[in-house]
Amino acid sequence: MIKSLLLALFMTYVLYAQTPQSKQLIVVTTKNWSTSSGVLQRYEVRDKAWHKVGSTIEIKLGRNGLGWGLGLHTIPKDAKIIKKEGDGKAPAGIFSLKQAFGYFPLVVDYPYEVYKSTDHCVDDVHSKLYNKIVDSKNVNIDYKSFEHMRFAKDYYKYGIVVNHNHIDEAGAKKGAGSCIFIHIKKVPTAGCTVMSEREMKEIIQWLDVRKNPLLVQGTVEVVNILMKEIK
């Protein structure tokens, strides 16, 4: 009980420290660390206070639940569940968002990339390109494992790149998890957070780069305390 309270208080401080510059939050909550489903609620600052935006969205995430990821937060020293490559867990914590993406152009007020079938997200821990999205035609391919950023299924028809473990930038920690997105799907994933195409598209159209949107993802217990503190 005391340990849970200390963790909640610690995470409250971390979120409060990170969000003053943010005016948009995507908050994902789950009932526990092992569940593969949860809910998503958007928040935006209006009149100097956080307000809900839109309806609650039922989501799926990692098939094995959550594990602490690498983002804007500090992982508690006594954390027992840490995200690793291939563990089937979605990252818990506070994360900035990078570009939205899709198969076709979309007019939005947010950075947006149209990906091709030759664009790969590298998840091979032995590659120098680990946790980077690259055009395979323009790089020296030293990887054996990767994700196509465009393929026959509509899973990546619309999505958002989550800045977990320094994706697309220097500093990615080998084996800490890669290629984390918010995208389209109906079933649990290898670590991404997913929903319907309509819901995904609505979120992308809502995002405003000037408001520095963040993803806050964790259990109900932790996130509820965090949200009470920042209202």
Number of domains in the chain: 1
Q: Cβ neighbours of residue 176 under 8 Å, at least 6 residues apart? A: 69, 70, 83, 84, 85, 165
State the residue for tokens 């609620």: 41
Given this model, what pLDDT does residue 225 score?
59
Given this model, what pLDDT does residue 169 score?
96
- Residue 5 pLDDT > 60: no
Instruction: Show the domain range for 121.
Output: 2-230
Given this model, what pLDDT does residue 72 score?
86
Separation between Cα atoms, residue 131 and residue 125, nearest integer Å: 8
Given this model, what pLDDT does residue 206 score?
98
Separation between Cα atoms, residue 131 and residue 173, nearest integer Å: 9
For the stretch 107-123, pLDDT in tens is 999 999 999 999 999 99
For the stretch 128-137, pLDDT in tens is 999 999 999 9
Separation between Cα atoms, residue 196 and residue 111, nearest integer Å: 21
- Residue 26 pLDDT > 80: yes
Report which of residues 197 and 11 the model is more confident about: 197
Instruction: With residue 56 as reference, give the H or E element that holds it.
Output: strand 49-60
- Residue 64 pLDDT > 90: yes
Local confidence band at 11 (pLDDT 50, 70, 90 cut-offs): very low
Given this model, what pLDDT does residue 74 score?
80
Local confidence band at 17 (pLDDT 50, 70, 90 cut-offs): very low
| Global confidence as pTM | 0.89
70 CB neighbour count, 10 Å cutoff: 23
- Residue 52 pLDDT > 80: yes
Residue 116 gets which letter from DSSP?
A: -
Mean pLDDT of the chain: 90
Instruction: With residue 221 as reference, give the H or E element that holds it.
Output: helix 220-230
**Starting at the edge strand that comes first in sequence, how are the strands of the sheet with 133-135 ordered?**
133-135, 119-122, 146-148
